[in-house]
Chain A
């Protein structure tokens, strides 16, 4: 079983739409959680960390549900520039030494 699972998509949405992605993780000892964005053939870049109480950064909202072992990312008012692959990442390990990446969810925002 994979440590982190995501729906690969693609999610095809019009500009201005609200879209949500979920990600499930298998290890209940997971310590910290992140969403990264990856543009085609480029390196991943941190979009936001995910905190237990949920957190928001502009049009982006992340939620964590430890009981059900999933995290979510909500994007409001989608822009063309939001088109990318979104990677769910969890950190496990006594020294926070291991990051596990989901395979990513692809988002296409259409005009």
Chain B
């Protein structure tokens, strides 16, 4: 079984709809991240969390919100989806440690906003 899972894997929605992307992990890591990837661009950090009570904005948090329901779960919400939020979304986890440890990614959610 995958260590980092994301649901749904694909989603098509309409402008103005609220949607939630979910991420679960079995790696026991405290740190979790949400990224989006657009063609020709690197992964951009949306939000990150170092534990259940710690939530931080990334580079492009506008239009998004997150919830860390438990150590293993980190959800990303689009309050009112717009077409330029069409992208590939990745959740990632890492363990704390000197030097910034390896990140483990989920398989991604492909979101299309019409």
Query: A23 CA to B54 CA in the complex, in Å?
Result: 32
Residue of B42, B43, B56, B108 touching A42 (CB-CB under 8 A):
B108
Smallest CB separation, A72 vs chain B (Å) = 18
B106 and A103 within 8 A (CB): no
Q: How many residues of B are counted as interface, with CB atoms below 8 angstroms from the partner's CB atoms?
A: 28
Chain A residues 55-111 with CB under 8 Å of chain B are 87, 91, 93, 95-104
Is the CB–CB distance between A103 and B40 below 8 Å?
yes
- Contact yes or no, B42 A96, CB < 8 A: no
Given contacts A96-B98, A97-B50, contact A4 B42 (CB under 8 A): yes
Cα-based distance from A4 to B106 in the complex (angstroms): 23
The answer to whether B103 touches A87 (Cβ under 8 A) is: no
A23 to B56, CA, bound (A): 27
- Closest chain-B Cβ to A35's Cβ sits at a distance in Å of 11
**Number of A interface residues, CB 8 Å?**
26
* Nearest-neighbor residue (CB-CB) of B50 within chain A: A97
13-66 of chain A: CB within 8 A of chain B: 31-32, 34, 41-46, 49
Q: Which residues of B contact A104 (CB under 8 A)?
A: 42
Interface string of B92-114 (1 = CB under 8 A from A): 00001111111101111010000
Closest chain A residue to B2, Cβ basis:
A43
Task: Report the Cα distance A2→B96, complex, angstroms.
Answer: 25
Are A98's CB and B102's CB within 8 A? no
Q: In the complex the two chains form, is B100's CB within 8 Å of A44's CB?
A: no
Cα distance A45–B106 in the bound complex, in angstroms: 10
Interface contact B48-A103, CB-CB below 8 Å: no
Any chain A CB within 8 A of the CB of B12? no
The answer to whether B105 touches A43, judged by C-beta atoms less than 8 angstroms apart, is yes
A46 vs B102: C-alpha distance in the bound complex, in angstroms?
7
How long is the Cα–Cα vector from A103 to B96 in the complex, in angstroms? 25
Q: Enumerate chain A interface residues (CB-CB to B < 8 A).
A: 2, 4, 8, 31-32, 34, 41-46, 49, 87, 91, 93, 95-104
